[in-house]
Amino acid sequence: MVRSMTSGMTEAVAAALDTIKDRPADAGAIALCRTYAALIDAAAPAAKYREPLRVLMLAADNAGEDAAKAFQRVADALAAHSVASDLGPKLLAALSALGLTLAGRGAKGGTGDSAPAVKPLDQLRQRRARKSRTADLDTATS
């Protein structure tokens, strides 16, 4: 029937995950990223396409080798598209949550070497420090 495709998503995600330190709090998100990548690599057609594809595959087998090869290319493309459109955004969101995308690092452009986004607690500390420095300044004119 429809063979699985290998797009290398598992390897790409593993390489990205290797760039971050394993933190116990991130273990679930890391595992989810690996699972999504593996599912994308092992793309199979969505359930709603399974029966029509089976019928078409039988017809293609009866029509000859060229038809079967053409059908297989279409089935593979459909499987890859179906899985990528379902899981791609979810994988991207998980990678972003781990800070492994430009958006996840709070960057709007440039290279992938952007510094991580400032954490909310750090922002509060910075504002408090600015406020206390401003209060120390003498605003009276001499």
Structure tokens at 12: 């790409």
> Is residue 14 in a domain?
yes
> Which structural domain range is residue 62 located in?
9-107
User: Taking the alpha carbons of 26, 29, 32, 34 in that order, is the dihedral positive or negative?
Assistant: negative
Q: Is residue 55 part of a domain?
A: yes
Q: How many domains, in total, are found in the chain?
A: 1
Q: Is 34 within a domain?
A: yes
Predicted TM-score (pTM) of the model is: 0.51
Residue 96 is assigned to a structural domain of this protein: yes
Q: Is 17 contained in some domain?
A: yes
Query: Taking the chain (142 residues) in consecutive chunks of 10 residues, what is each chunk's mean pLDDT?
Result: 57 92 86 90 70 76 76 75 81 91 75 61 84 65 58
Residue among 92, 89, 90 at smallest CA distance from 101: 92
